[in-house]
Structure 1
Amino acid sequence: MKKLPLRRALVGAVALGAVVTLASCSTTPAADAPASAASATEAGPRVAVAYEGGILVLDGETLETVADFDSEEFTRLNPAGDDRHVMVTMSEGFQVLDTGAGSSDDAALTDTVFAADTPGHVVRHGGKTILYADGTSDTTIFDTADLAASEGLPEVETIAGVEAHHGVSIVLEDGTFLTTVGNADGRNGIVVRDADGAEIASSDQCPGVHGEGTAANEVVVFGCEDGALVYADGEITKLSAPDQPYGRMGNAYVSESSPIIVGDYKNDPDAEGYLLGAVTLIDTEALTYEVVDLPEGAEYTFRDVARGPGELAYILGSDGSIHVLDPESGEITDTYPVIDAWEGPAEWQDAHPAIVVAGDIAYVTEPAANSVHAVDLTTGEVLASTELEVTPNEIAPAAG
């Protein structure tokens, strides 16, 4: 395998412009509240919701709209990792959305942009936020806490890539750097380097590598089209899917306090549509790879699985219910009806139901009804619902 050179360069923080705040969309204090008291009040949780040409910020408890910003036609949303900011994938790079959660500031789609050629994955781990540019394979790393403390861009570290591909990187707490390897013709594995750039391990046995997750004890899993790679303590282990030559895991849903990763699973490369009917359970301690078929009605897409209370997995099925999966047993332990039954999208970018979790609360989109719902995952109770004037697509929480 071709060696992956590494160049690390600290980039000085340069603000890209003043923070943009849309006054017409800012939160208005109650009429009987003193202005000084209102301005000092910290907001609670918030939820960012992308729609065609815009982004809404909702109050995480009432689901009332507190801000509405223009954006590009299709944007992806990823939590930045500080329970306040959201990274928005724009054509110029990762633009910072300040939801205002946990602060007395108004929500703002700021002018702060982490420049990237074809921005892709956003990873949060160990107090770092890691941004990957598919167009260059460059990785940008910064201390997550610096995002709120900086005027404009925080200080970043850039690790230059070699050959552009749709990839992902992660940095462990000791500075170990893991990144995918590939080019325009495909992706085939990962390389691991220490904090000084020296290669620790590599593998080219992961066709179509995609999807990364970090489990307990900083064990990292990457999905492959025929299984998965597991990295721990300087070694890479290949786990094979039960279906060969094609048994693909492409997305990992993790709890960093659980050794078990839940992944999506597809065993027919020619299957039409995006609905899936099975999940992968990877035990990173026992180094086992299991595929569990879900009950009828629990089909899902990559947007419909999240980890939540009790280290359980919560799957928003095509029957409109949240199916609670125990990763240790592989059993569905509860089912919470939330929305109407739905069909899979024609294209992955198309608006279709999604679930994200902040603490004990799940936020569920229902594009067919232009609605968003908040669900208590400990009881299954729908705590709040709102009907929007737009069709929700991607969604990201900010716990505040």
Structure 2
Amino acid sequence: MRRFILGVSTLALTVGLTGPVAFAEEDVTLYRVFVGDHEAGKITAFDLGEPDKRWSFETTGQVKLYSVDEGAAIVAVQSNNDVVNFIDSGISLHAHGDHSDIDIEDPKAVEASLTGPRPFHVIDHDGKVVINFDRGGYNEIVDAHELSDGELESTRLPQARAHHGFAAPIGKHWVTTVASDAPVEGDASPKRVGMQTVKEDGTPVGEVATCTGIHGEAFSGAFLAAGCDEGVLTVTAGSDAPTFKMLNYASDLPAGGKTGTLLGAKSMQVFLGNYGAKGLVVVDPADEPHFRYIELPFRRIDFALDPANARFGYVLTEDGSLHQVDVLDGKVAKSEKVTEPYSMDGHWNDPRPRIAMAGDEIVMSDPKAGLVRRIAKDTLQEAGTIKVEGMPYNIAVAGGSGKVHEGEEGHDHSHDGGHAHDKGHDHAHDHGDEKVYKGYFEDSQIKDRPLSDYAGDWQSVYPHLKDGTLDPVWEHKAENGDKTADEWKAYYDTGYKTDVERITIKGDVVTFYRDGQPVEGHYAYDGYEILTYEKGNRGVRFIFKKTEGDDDAPAFIQFSDHRIAPEVTDHYHLYWGDDRAAILEELTNWPTYYPSSLKADEIVHEMIAH
């Protein structure tokens, strides 16, 4: 068997209410709102359900706010002041199969910042936050997970010339916008002409895909999309290079319009974009018709997609009305007046409302009124208002729902139950039927499982074993077992060993990272196999076969997570190689993966709490 082994500006913080946040409730839903002022250099943050609990962050000037890394961090871009600041939102979510845990702390500024000439576009994708510096001719690539640890690490991707554009990761490749030497008519800035594949050092690879006036970008499913004068340019990952495809605007769209802002849905493959001053367009990147136009009664101010229910988007128009847009039907479903009129005449950066989603509500800044309005997304009726000093403008939201275990504060997790691996090594979680989890079940109980049960961003625990982080786990096991701590560590060193430090699973694409370099394949379900172990218990391997992808991606992958029917997993053991039968015989090496969002000490708590 061939074993596949990929194996300096600071942000000042003023706190209104401080101290760690503790909850007695087991189930918590919490959304934290961050609001930038239009005039003053400050960001106000508050918990939506308890708005008197608030924090203030001083900035150099006006900010555009982005919620990144599933809301774990906030990016504050100050284009006119040449600085980008970062805030740890204090809220992080961790998936655990049948539930999620939520960790809640005070938000805090990341001490380091990025400085450079006119930062603007921000992309959050595949664990990377990418910021384009329009007048610098480069993008800074930030590790999103480091931000939630209060650290800032970045690398630079240079462009051929400075321009108002962006760069984005596509599988194992990168793409960047391209500008010509010729300026835009009536403007000194270069003319944007398209997009090109580049190496991470900025070296061009392949031809430029034409996209005149390229502006605006979003990810949805397997697609990156960008707006052009001709249509919408889509990009998908490939084994050798990304694939570009132009979706030309349909002839029945209003003449003279184009898309320059796109939002990508998370739970289905579709985009919502602007089109002209009074329209939206639903973009299906895969199937025709690619475009469906939605006419609005007045000019558009701002719009958002519901991440929890991608069927619906919400758009605010200058008459002060909020409209619910049915993306599937391609029409306005309902409308309600929510604020006084805000004309779109004047400068694009004049103070006008901005909207963001917060669970079952839409939060909207209302600069003239000095308020953040809470609006129920199902009825579009006002649920309340929150007074914010100054002129609230740009807005971002972090948060969600999860379990906070009783008596916990900060990053403390606790689970109980039993967990036995194929060969007898144990972890512990509460996973429903304990007999099944320990390997005692009937064949009739086994059901086929989809790859989506394992979807997510996963980290290997092996580096934590090697650096000593997991030593408390071995000491704990030695207290109740028949091995010393050193013997347990040696046993798990064999079990966990791999140099594939990270795996991402999205759709049918599995990407393996070795030393940060990705190798990916597309996988289809190939059934399951039942294994019987020496002590009489059994396990099930759910198997997936590669249908296409990189040559170095394994032909087969086999999951073992002690479940035998469809259920989203919280961690798993993975076996891989090119010989399906030979992989089944592997019982001593079981590379193990936990969510990348978990910190090392959280993994230790997960393993010890058995």
State TM-score, norm by structure 2: 0.54
Q: Deviations over 1:353-391 (max 9, x none)?
A: 111113333211112211111223244343331122311
Q: CA deviation at 1:176?
A: 2.0
Contact 2:267 2:309 in 1 (8 A): no
Q: How does 1:128-277 map to 2 (within 5 A)?
A: 128-150=128-150, 152-154=151-153, 156-172=154-170, 174-183=171-180, 184-193=189-198, 202-216=207-221, 218-232=222-236, 233=238, 234-241=242-249, 242=251, 246-266=256-276, 276-277=277-278
Q: How does 1:64-143 map to 2 (within 5 A)?
A: 64=52, 66-90=54-78, 91-102=81-92, 105-143=105-143
Q: Give the distance between the partners of 1:371 and 1:84, measured in 2 at CA.
A: 25
Alignment-derived partner of residue 371 in structure 2:
371
Q: Give the distance between the partners of 1:212 and 1:177, measured in 2 at CA.
A: 14
Give the residue type in structure 2 aligned to 1:58. F
Q: How does 1:16-95 map to 2 (within 5 A)?
A: 20-22=12-14, 25-28=15-18, 44-51=30-37, 52-53=39-40, 54-64=42-52, 66-90=54-78, 91-95=81-85
Alignment-derived partner of residue 6 in structure 1:
none
Structure 2 residue runs without a partner (length 5+): 1-7, 93-102, 181-188, 401-610
Q: CA deviation at 1:165?
A: 0.2
Q: Give the distance between the partners of 2:157 and 2:326, measured in 1 at CA.
A: 38
Alignment-derived partner of residue 561 in structure 2:
none
Q: Give the distance between the partners of 1:161 and 1:196, measured in 2 at CA.
A: 9
Alignment-derived partner of residue 305 in structure 1:
304
The 3-state SS of whatever aligns with 1:145 is helix
Cα gap change, 1:17/1:392 in structure 2, threshold over 3 Å: closer, same or farther?
Answer: closer
Q: Give the distance between the partners of 2:21 and 2:248, measured in 1 at CA.
A: 61
Q: Give the distance between the partners of 2:21 and 2:256, measured in 1 at CA.
A: 61
Moved more, 185-194 or 381-390: 381-390
Alignment-derived partner of residue 270 in structure 1:
none
Contact 1:19 1:108 in 2 (8 A): no
Q: Deviations over 1:137-162 (max 9, x none)?
A: 31222331211224x423x2322222
Give the residue type in structure 2 aligned to 1:262. L
Give the residue type in structure 1 aligned to 2:156. T
Cα gap change, 1:92/1:185 in structure 2, threshold over 3 Å: closer, same or farther?
Answer: closer
Contact 2:178 2:208 in 1 (8 A): no
Q: CA deviation at 1:250?
A: 0.5
Contact 2:220 2:271 in 1 (8 A): yes
Q: Give the distance between the partners of 1:247 and 1:374, measured in 2 at CA.
A: 32
Q: CA deviation at 1:56?
A: 1.0
Matched, 1:321 2:318: no
Give the residue type in structure 1 aligned to 2:67. P
Cα gap change, 1:261/1:175 in structure 2, threshold over 3 Å: closer, same or farther?
Answer: same
Q: Give the distance between the partners of 1:329 and 1:366, measured in 2 at CA.
A: 30
Contact 1:43 1:101 in 2 (8 A): no
Cα gap change, 1:161/1:62 in structure 2, threshold over 3 Å: closer, same or farther?
Answer: same
Alignment-derived partner of residue 416 in structure 2:
none
Moved more, 98-107 or 134-143: 98-107
Contact 1:260 1:284 in 2 (8 A): yes
Cα gap change, 1:365/1:66 in structure 2, threshold over 3 Å: closer, same or farther?
Answer: same
More helix by share: 2
Q: Give the distance between the partners of 1:36 and 1:321, measured in 2 at CA.
A: 37
The 3-state SS of whatever aligns with 1:225 is coil
Q: Give the distance between the partners of 1:189 and 1:76, measured in 2 at CA.
A: 25
State TM-score, norm by structure 1: 0.80
Q: Give the distance between the partners of 1:18 and 1:324, measured in 2 at CA.
A: 39
Give the residue type in structure 2 aligned to 1:73. G
Give the residue type in structure 1 aligned to 2:280. V
What percent identity do the matched residue pairs reach?
A: 21
Q: Give the distance between the partners of 2:123 and 2:264, measured in 1 at CA.
A: 12
Contact 1:305 1:316 in 2 (8 A): no
Q: Deviations over 1:17-46 (max 9, x none)?
A: 988442xx24146xxxxx8969xx999421
Contact 2:159 2:176 in 1 (8 A): no
**Larger of the two Rg values belongs to structure:** 2
Q: CA deviation at 1:252?
A: 0.1
Give the residue type in structure 1 aligned to 2:211. C
Q: Give the distance between the partners of 1:260 and 1:201, measured in 2 at CA.
A: 27
Q: Give the distance between the partners of 1:345 and 1:63, measured in 2 at CA.
A: 33
Cα gap change, 1:347/1:64 in structure 2, threshold over 3 Å: closer, same or farther?
Answer: farther
Give the residue type in structure 1 aligned to 2:172. G
Q: CA deviation at 1:214?
A: 1.1
Q: CA deviation at 1:96?
A: 1.0
Q: Deviations over 1:66-120 (max 9, x none)?
A: 1223323322211232413211123243111234335554333443202332111
